[in-house]
Structure 1
Amino acid sequence: MDRNRLTLRRVTTHGRESREDVFVRKAELCNEARKVIAESVLPLNPGVDPCSKVFNMDHTGSVAYTTANTTVEQVGVHLVPALTAGSNSQCITMTVLVRADGVMLPPHFVFKGQPGGEVEREVRSCVPPHVATYSVQENAWFDERVMLKWIEESFRFNATSYSVLLLDALKRHKMDSVSDELGAMGTSVHFVPPGCTGIAQHLDVGVMSPLKTHLRQTCAQAAVLNAMPTDSA
């Protein structure tokens, strides 16, 4: 196998399309976006870098706090306490928006809780609008209501004039209410074809994983600094 530059690899994706088919669909997506940029973005934004009018959005779920399985303790100690949040249920959804010129815009977080409840009041008191925007949803899901709020409070202020937005081909992204809202802003939406995420959705490939790691580390540090109650492991 070494002689023929072959190696055993774990399967990462399953699908009915070959690798060649996936690259063809990626090329079609790129050509479609280039056409819109050439025919609409450039004429309607004279003198502006077209890359500043091309946006990519992606979101991912994460657990803010995780239960500790190991810690450092003195030899011979039988009861080992762990500093945790008490459960693994503190989920959030993190939404990232970037421009094609490399500018990363303020994120949008979806916290688990009841809209208008205690969680929302607490978040409102500590999240300045210029740092991030947020929503509260029963399961921390990016549903239709949250998607529309993200458009109104985050995307609208960054996508002025005619623009292009690349999204995953999810049902909530294709809802009529979402399409109408983005269309009214002059935003041309293009969906990453199913199966092409690994080569066409750059946020998913190279950004989300380190961001989630950083988020968990930051939350863990905050838990220690805030001296949260300990749970027995």
Structure 2
Amino acid sequence: MREALHTNAFRLKAADEAIAAGVTSALAQASDCHRTTIYRWKKRRDEIASATSSSTVLKSGRRGPKVRFPDLEQRLLDWVEDMRRNKVRAVTTGCLLVMSIKLEPRFLDTRTEAAAVKYLRRFRLRNRLSIHRITHKGRRKRSEVQVVADEFGHSMRYKLETGSVLAGYDKYEHLYNMNQTSIYVDMNPKTTITFRGDRDVDVVQGMSENSFHAMQKNAYCDERVMLESIKEVWTPSVSFCRVLLLDSLKVHKMNTVRAHLEDAMTDVEFVPAGATMLAQPMDVAVMAGFNRECRELAGMGTDFRCDNS
């Protein structure tokens, strides 16, 4: 059976405080338990009070089911602590499930995967683990980036309103955006399981030294690929003057690339570096979904190819 974490006297004191001042996060933290536990103690206050004089714990039959693998939880918690030490690696529910099976091969013998996920949720609650969104320490504050994005937006609106040969809303039909994106099957998730109270929830960005796995040998954009894309994809579709938004990449600013775009009646504007998320929120959102679909297809072993366009 699980060892009792709190005595009846301790439970009774916490229940009385909950009745007097209500169930709060501060009370739960001081009692070293979850708020739902305080609610249960408050509801069973009379039963706890009657058992305090004769026993330090409640009756064993009311403390939950027997733990089938008592050593698994501590080993799993040690693994989470090791992974989150120095905020090095992200931990997901899928990671916990895989490690549970590795640490205890019989973990899924008598339970379904859905039941195992529910067990892992209770494991997180018992050990003060929660799911947090991964945050990175940027070199610039969001307010500073927002100023750059606003200035870029004002300059683009001025350019379209005063420099366009078209009038009305027709001018916006000639404003385009081109983007290249890398697709990594093993990209970090958006969230990670970590201990409550962590302020900076970061993970290492990068890969092992001299290690790179690609779905295609030439899944990149250099001068040759960019010129080929302009010649075969962009130029045939141009029938009138256009404005093209490009990221501030070295390959985009090459003189040869600019010259080919000018020959295709295209004026180029560059999105300020570091402000893509704010200056092009819809573009970033669309590419995120596209990357996710490609990773899922690759994970299922689907054979597919992406054109350079």
* SS of residue paired to 2:177: strand
Deviations 1:158-184 (A, max 9, x none): 343111111111111111111111122
Q: Which runs of 5+ in 2 are unaligned?
A: 1-24, 26-131, 188-211, 304-309
Structure 2 distance, partners of 1:193, 1:218, is 33
Among 241, 249, 253, the alignment partner of 1:162 is: 241
Structure 2 distance, partners of 1:26, 1:63, is 27
* SS of residue paired to 2:302: helix
TM superposition score normalised by structure 1 = 0.54
Match of 1:188 in 2: 267
Distance 1:186 1:171, change over 3 A: same
Distance 1:201 1:175, change over 3 A: same
Among 228, 231, 237, the alignment partner of 1:152 is: 231
How far residue 219 of structure 1 moved from its aligned partner, in angstroms, is 4.3
How far residue 151 of structure 1 moved from its aligned partner, in angstroms, is 0.9
Q: Which runs of 5+ in 1 are unaligned?
A: 3-7, 67-87, 92-110, 113-136, 225-233
Deviations 1:187-210 (A, max 9, x none): 221111122122113355301121
Instruction: Indicate the structure with greater strand content.
Output: 1
Deviations 1:29-86 (A, max 9, x none): 1122112212333x2x4577222211111111125799xxxxxxxxxxxxxxxxxxxx
Paired letter, 2:146: F
Q: How many residues align?
A: 149
Structure 2 distance, partners of 1:158, 1:201, is 23
The reply on whether 1:36 has 2:115 as its aligned counterpart is: no
Among 27, 32, 41, the alignment partner of 2:150 is: 27
How far residue 12 of structure 1 moved from its aligned partner, in angstroms, is 3.1
Distance 1:198 1:46, change over 3 A: closer
Given that 1:65 and 1:90 are in contact with CA atoms closer than 8 Å, whether structure 2 keeps it comes out as no
* Larger gyration radius, structure 1 or structure 2: 2
TM superposition score normalised by structure 2 = 0.42
* SS of residue paired to 2:178: strand
Given that 1:40 and 1:162 are in contact with CA atoms closer than 8 Å, whether structure 2 keeps it comes out as no
Paired letter, 2:275: C
Structure 1 distance, partners of 2:255, 2:232, is 19
Once the two structures are aligned, what percentage of the paired residues are identical?
32
* SS of residue paired to 1:223: coil
Match of 2:138 in 1: 14
